[in-house]
Chains A and B, each alone.
Chain A
């Protein structure tokens, strides 16, 4: 478990004074401390509402945060953790799916609840919670594993030690899809028992700390394979009811395409989604190079994202170069950081002191070339259709949203557009049969 607020070491940066330092401060994996001067205050209505709801509500909120990879979800979750009012009201437990084991695609609703239970037990140790609830969890695990494992040696091993059941429980997840309906029905009452343990843990933590409990589960949206999609469907379509039963607040992260799913079981008021930062008008999306809306909040936000990391922004970009890099970034923070990192790299190769339009052109070509392996066969027609239609929502677009070949924007309505670097290329090629 990693509690981002307490354990994560954010990188220290200072505003860049040279191209070399620009290359450094726009390193795309850099995590920015949300309490630092470099954090950019987002104004997305849904994000503001999530913070407001968490602060104001007397109920337990079960919420779903969705957005593009690299759009700032984790940064915003970190910010929530560091918010003084949230800290005063909630004891926060931050989980990442990366720590759930190497086969996260086999995750089931009960396994996710077990992960939360384990995290609460760990938190409980820090807060002086009695060990009896951890013992209850171990008893539950042993019972479930011995019920569904038929190997006597396994049963003996599981019965012998406290938490040995967990390894067998996780190992067994990969074969769950082979279960018969009868076995699934046998598991159901045990899940209610697990929810009972979870709720008792939350209550005891509340009694000990005097605060409500907020569990954040990040990185569930990561992964683009069919197995990941199946996992997300299994969790949030088939078992939505179970995952919203715990009597404490939970934030789950979801991939960007979830809010466009017509069949989604998640009510709109529980879905807190934010799009990429919009840099131009939807009316101009058919153009290969739409004009930037320079008075628009989105454009100003992204400029400030860049300028805050520079000592003297005007000194490092030739006229129009920064705008071109913002276009290449497509309104996504990590992609914008990468574009500037790359542009600084190309300028340094020339022994230059400033990023020129020629450098931005190299970044454009570089990013386009990186995406080209994805643009073959059926993909060409899908991407052409995205660009041709005003809204851009076409069948089969989900993988391209995940890879950010296509980006979602919002101004009133949600609409999709092809990344700037791909527009001319896609419109110029013919689909192969």
Chain B
């Protein structure tokens, strides 16, 4: 686990996550990482970076968008994560569903995530969950038991402009 000199902070986070993924795969342990972001563009740029680094290391990440795709939603996500774990890969869960016409996270999805968090340890699930900083309190309050299982939290810094340049 090393951060090379000259790496920008976002790249360093991506490298660290890739290190954690490799370590958890080698040790056959679960991995649940949280990445907070403030700007969508920063997240998108970061996703590109992390995919590239993981691919170079021979790990193909699978992306799930619970916020956009119902087939990655309630009742569906954990089985998908289990498949990813069986294939020795890592999942990137890029967003969580919000209530229609609301800025609030969908509580039924949070309950689902929370209730079945023991599957993380049971099936050695490995996934990185991307959360907007504005959703942090709601996530911690509504899915506190899941939050308790986190292995590490990262905060993506940077503005939309920086992200565009990076893209």
Contacts and interface: CB of A to CB of B under 8 A. Distances in A.
Contact of B149 (A29, A223, A224, A373): A29
- Candidate in A28, A104, A341 with the most chain B CB atoms within 10 angstroms: A28
A239 interface: no
A224 B141 contact: yes
Given A342-B152, A373-B137, A349 B3 contact: yes
Interface in A342-357: 342, 345, 348-349, 351
Majority DSSP secondary structure for residues of B touching A: helix
Nearest to A224: B144
B interface, how many residues as a size bin?
35 or more
A373 B140 CA distance: 9
Interface residues of A, number: 37
A98 to B, nearest CB: 6
A304 to B, nearest CB: 23
Nearest to A24: B27
A27 interface: yes
B14 interface: no
Interface in A9-66: 20, 23-24, 27-31
A351 B2 contact: yes
Majority DSSP secondary structure for residues of A touching B: helix
Given A374-B141, A403-B144, A24 B111 contact: no
A105 interface: yes
Contact of B142 (A225, A369, A370): A225
A378 B3 CA distance: 40
Contacts, number: 84
B140 A403 contact: yes
Interface string B137-167: 1001110110111111101000000000000
B156 to A, nearest CB: 13
Interface in A207-237: 222-225
Interface in A338-395: 338, 341-342, 345, 348-349, 351, 366, 369-370, 373-374, 376
Contacts of A24: 23, 27, 29
A399 interface: yes
A98 B29 contact: no
A69 interface: yes
Given A29-B121, A341-B151, A103 B116 contact: no
A392 B148 CA distance: 23
B148 A334 contact: yes
5 contacts: A24-B29, A102-B111, A345-B1, A349-B1, A376-B137
Ranked nearest first, the 9 interchain pairs of A and B with the lowest CB-CB distance are: A373-B136, A29-B121, A348-B1, A373-B137, A224-B144, A222-B145, A24-B27, A349-B1, A29-B149
Given A29-B121, A105-B111, A403-B147, 7 more contacts: A24-B27, A29-B32, A69-B145, A102-B74, A223-B111, A366-B153, A373-B140
